[in-house]
């Protein structure tokens, strides 16, 4: 819950500690601002406080062009390029690169594929395709460990386009075939065998 007195003091004092924690909607202008807005503060009787920019917009206010509420701390613009990478990761995790290309993914994000690759290298140290490959192998490994599904179905569920590709990539990553890894895993529903003492 927002304390109006605390918010009012922060707004009048342009207290940076509260930037992103609330927004001020000015009834006379129908504009909402961050607490650090450089514009002369409106009279308190004309101000309403909101916990989020979305709440201020739902109430009929539009964002201030001077203090740019979209760039406030805790907002996507404040997080910068990390937000784009996080969005891309969610899409990749949901299979965005299993059947589509990096160009398609970049288009969904509203940026170029080269820029997307640069962001991934900067924040993750790997390309989108490398990240997608790792996620596929991880999915396949979980399925190998936790199910008795046939290899073809594991490959499909993990996001590989063919069984051959699955076997090749899995062997590159684990230095073992999927069948070898499955043999080493405990049987589904059984506890791992205990080693004999001595």
| 7 labelled catalytic | no
Contact 87, 57 (CB under 8 A): no
- Which residue in 7, 37, 42, 116 is the catalytic one? 37
| 172-179 LR contacts (CB < 8 Å, sep 24+) | 173/134, 173/137, 174/137, 174/141, 178/140, 178/144, 178/151, 178/154, 179/151
- Which residue in 33, 42, 88, 151 is the catalytic one? 33
- Which residue in 26, 47, 64, 131 is the catalytic one? 64
Structure tokens at 24: 């001020």
Instruction: Count how many Cα atoms sit within 13 Å of the Cα of residue 138 in the half-sphere of its side chain.
Output: 8
- Which residue in 31, 47, 67, 89 is the catalytic one? 67
Catalytically active residues are: 33, 37, 64, 67
């Amino acid at each position: 819950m927002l304390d109006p007195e605390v918010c009012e003091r922060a707004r009048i004092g342009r207290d940076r500690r509260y930037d992103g924690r609330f927004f001020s909607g000015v009834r006379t202008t129908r504009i909402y601002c961050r607490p650090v807005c450089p514009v002369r503060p409106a009279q308190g009787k004309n101000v309403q406080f909101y916990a989020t920019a979305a709440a201020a917009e739902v109430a009929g206010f539009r964002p201030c062009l001077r203090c740019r509420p979209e760039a406030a701390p805790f907002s996507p613009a404040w997080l910068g390029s990390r937000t784009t990478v996080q969005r891309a990761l969610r899409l990749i995790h949901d299979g965005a690169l299993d059947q589509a290309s990096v160009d398609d993914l970049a288009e969904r994000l509203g940026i170029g594929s080269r820029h997307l690759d640069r962001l991934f290298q900067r924040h993750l140290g790997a390309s989108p395709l490398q990240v997608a490959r790792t996620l596929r192998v991880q999915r396949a490994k979980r399925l190998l460990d936790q199910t008795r599904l046939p290899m073809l179905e594991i490959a499909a569920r993990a996001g590989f386009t063919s069984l051959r590709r699955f076997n090749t990539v899995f062997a590159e990553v684990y230095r073992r075939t999927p069948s070898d890894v499955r043999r080493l895993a405990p049987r589904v529903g059984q506890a791992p065998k205990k080693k004999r003492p001595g």
